[in-house]
A and B are shown apart, each in its own frame.
Chain A
Amino acid sequence: MISPRHTNIALGAGVGLKPQHYEDAYAVEQGELWFEVHPENYMVDGGPRLAWLEMIRGRHPLSLHGVSLSLAAEQEPDATHLQRLKALIDRVEPALVSEHLAWSAWRDHYHPDLLPFPRTQDALLRVAANISRTQDTLGRRIAIENPTHYLTITGHDWSESDFFREVIRRTGCGLLVDINNVFVSAHNLPIDPIAYLDAIPSDAVMEIHLAGHSVDANGALWIDSHDAAINEGVWHLYRYLIDRIGPRPTLIERDGQVPEFDVLLGERQQAQSLLDRRISMDAMA
């Protein structure tokens, strides 16, 4: 059994956990360091993955960041998937649970991406109902991540920030602000990233994500690829956001071209320093 000692502590900066870093993550001495994983990779009956996760969880707080609940699909979240998620939550007692404002599972198939949709009134009702069902089943509040945009979709009834506000009002869910997604979408659509961050309901923000991105082959689009160091523009927006809303648990995400563990710890330290600076601003005020 895992002690629940970590579940209520305030989290600083954490790192996405990759299988190639299991041993490093287990051995690292920084007890305040936390890790995030995609629960889908641990929805298994047994085996070494789950064993590693439990071992690391014994020493560090954990966050479960789902990618496939498909909250924006016009169907209920898959009941089996929700039960598996609940079982994993009971097993590892994560400090945070999050998902995306997107769809991926639809009818009988799973399309592994975070797919976009028109933010219509119907979509709002559906997303709110799906989040409520998820929170009721899991017995806890979840945070919803803002998507990366690559397309100009017509037929939105709601701006994204108003959509989030209304979903939060109806369900009590939280927000996961992915700064890289804002930065990349600002280039692709385009939108004003500062205006976007200013419109975020600050009280709802439970977590922040930082990641790197790439430029597509034609050079026109930026891609939310998580395969590079965090861009200076993303750091700038991060600082802007926490100056406005205060310090929040912050995750360094890296999914491609994964470097040595120490490189990720370096980025994590950079985020932690900004959080510490922000905390000291409050203390001096």
Chain B
Amino acid sequence: MKATLASFQDAFVDALYGRVPHDSRVVALMDQPGFAVYRNTVFQGCVDALEANFPAVVRLVGEDWFRAAAAEYVSLSPPTETRLLRYGQNFPDFLASFEPAKSLSYLPNVARLDYSWVEAHVAPDDRHVTVIDLTAWPPQQAERATLRVHPSARWHWFADEPAYTIWRANREGADIPDDLVWEGEGALLLRPSSNVVWQPLSIGACAFLDACAAECDLESATRRALEREPEMDLGQCVSTLLTAGAIAEIKVRDAVS
């Protein structure tokens, strides 16, 4: 094989990740102590980025366990883009199939909330509307309005476990509450102004936001929310979302507020 720049680079990457390099120039480098400097820097850079992006997971499992798991993830899924502040999008899925994490069923969902924080943190800035903006519309027009969800908003429903309470305690550096009830929970994270904020969310409210994101009008979003949570107080739910800053815009047919 011709010794090209590309073959050097392919071989160097193979050597970094512990595979056999197919370029004699790189083979000659692996015995030098300096090669480990590059390998350490690459892995440390990736693991540091994951540690920064998944702080609640780190607190739950401890730094040593986390860094060992993260190094395995780096080997399988090196960064695909240069912005490491977004690295780890499928780290939660990796944790879900990671044998040593099997006993921690909630860990992948805690990781999903950490990653939602990352996404909210770097999302576009946008305005948000208030309850007054919505109530300004006559009910018949409001029913046909669509609510545009704030671009920083991320929400999840976790059917099987209190992943939000566990995440929140670890994110805030607090203890898990003694009265923790092992049941499904939802969560909303968003950045209405400069800081990412979070709050619990009911299954109906999650369905409502899903419907808004799918550009359903208010009437149809309400129907979908009530299908999931028949006893919910829809007015209270909409008011909570508006107060949180989760709605960027009210779009009424032929009019925008």
Let me know if A81 is at the binding interface, CB within 8 A.
yes
| Shortest Cβ distance from residue B110 to the other chain A in the assembled complex, whole angstroms | 22
Decide: A115 and B38 in contact? CB cutoff 8 A.
yes
Within 8 A of B (CB), among A50-109: 51, 68, 72-74, 78, 81, 103-109
The interface residues of chain B lying within 8 Å CB-to-CB of A103 are: 9
Complex-state Cα separation, A149 to B45, whole angstroms: 18
Complex-state Cα separation, A48 to B41, whole angstroms: 28
Closest residue of chain B to A127 (Cβ to Cβ) is: B5
Let me know if A3 is at the binding interface, CB within 8 A.
no
The interface residues of chain A lying within 8 Å CB-to-CB of B12 are: 115
Q: Which residue of B5, B13, B81, B82 has the most chain A CB atoms within 10 A of its CB atom? A: B82
Decide: A46 and B84 in contact? CB cutoff 8 A.
no
The interface residues of chain A lying within 8 Å CB-to-CB of B9 are: 73-74, 103, 106, 115, 117
Let me know if A159 is at the binding interface, CB within 8 A.
no
Decide: A223 and B37 in contact? CB cutoff 8 A.
yes
Complex-state Cα separation, A44 to B84, whole angstroms: 11
Complex-state Cα separation, A118 to B29, whole angstroms: 12
Query: Given that A151-B32, A155-B3 are known contacts, is A111 also in contact with B42, CB under 8 Å in the complex?
Result: yes
Let me know if A23 is at the binding interface, CB within 8 A.
no
Query: Given that A109-B80, A111-B78, A118-B8 are known contacts, is A151 also in contact with B46, CB under 8 Å in the complex?
Result: no
| Shortest Cβ distance from residue B191 to the other chain A in the assembled complex, whole angstroms | 6
Closest residue of chain A to B29 (Cβ to Cβ) is: A151
Complex-state Cα separation, A47 to B79, whole angstroms: 22
| Shortest Cβ distance from residue B27 to the other chain A in the assembled complex, whole angstroms | 11
Decide: A120 and B79 in contact? CB cutoff 8 A.
no
Complex-state Cα separation, A118 to B151, whole angstroms: 45
- The contact of B5 among A110, A117, A150, by CB within 8 Å, is A117
Decide: B32 and A74 in contact? CB cutoff 8 A.
no
Complex-state Cα separation, A49 to B118, whole angstroms: 12
The stretch of B59-67, B122-130, B239-247 that contacts the partner chain: B122-130
The stretch of A28-36, A133-141, A213-221, A272-280 that contacts the partner chain: A213-221
User: Which label, helix, strand, loop or mixed, suits the secondary structure of the B interface?
Assistant: helix
Query: Given that A46-B125, A118-B25 are known contacts, is A112 also in contact with B41, CB under 8 Å in the complex?
Result: yes
Closest residue of chain B to A126 (Cβ to Cβ) is: B5
The interface residues of chain A lying within 8 Å CB-to-CB of B8 are: 117-118
| Shortest Cβ distance from residue A193 to the other chain B in the assembled complex, whole angstroms | 18
| Shortest Cβ distance from residue B192 to the other chain A in the assembled complex, whole angstroms | 12
Proximity bits, B1-42, A CB within 8 Å = 1, else 0:
001111011101100100000000100110011110110011
Query: Given that A154-B25, A216-B37, A221-B34 are known contacts, is A109 also in contact with B82, CB under 8 Å in the complex?
Result: no
The interface residues of chain A lying within 8 Å CB-to-CB of B124 are: 45-46
Decide: A45 and B122 in contact? CB cutoff 8 A.
yes
Complex-state Cα separation, A46 to B192, whole angstroms: 11
Let me know if B121 is at the binding interface, CB within 8 A.
yes
Complex-state Cα separation, A180 to B131, whole angstroms: 58
The interface residues of chain B lying within 8 Å CB-to-CB of A78 are: 82
Let me know if A43 is at the binding interface, CB within 8 A.
yes
Closest residue of chain B to A120 (Cβ to Cβ) is: B5
Proximity bits, A120-161, B CB within 8 Å = 1, else 0:
101100100000000000000000000001111111000000
Decide: B42 and A113 in contact? CB cutoff 8 A.
yes
Closest residue of chain A to B37 (Cβ to Cβ) is: A150
Let me know if A171 is at the binding interface, CB within 8 A.
no
Instruction: List 16 A–B pairs whose Cβ atoms lie within 8 Å, in order of A's numbering.
Output: A40-B82, A43-B83, A46-B152, A49-B122, A73-B9, A107-B10, A112-B42, A113-B38, A116-B38, A117-B8, A118-B5, A120-B5, A150-B32, A150-B37, A155-B25, A221-B34
Interface residues in chain A, defined as those with a beta carbon under 8 Å from any beta carbon in chain B: 40-41, 43-49, 51, 68, 72-74, 78, 81, 103-113, 115-118, 120, 122-123, 126, 149-155, 188, 216, 218, 220-221, 223
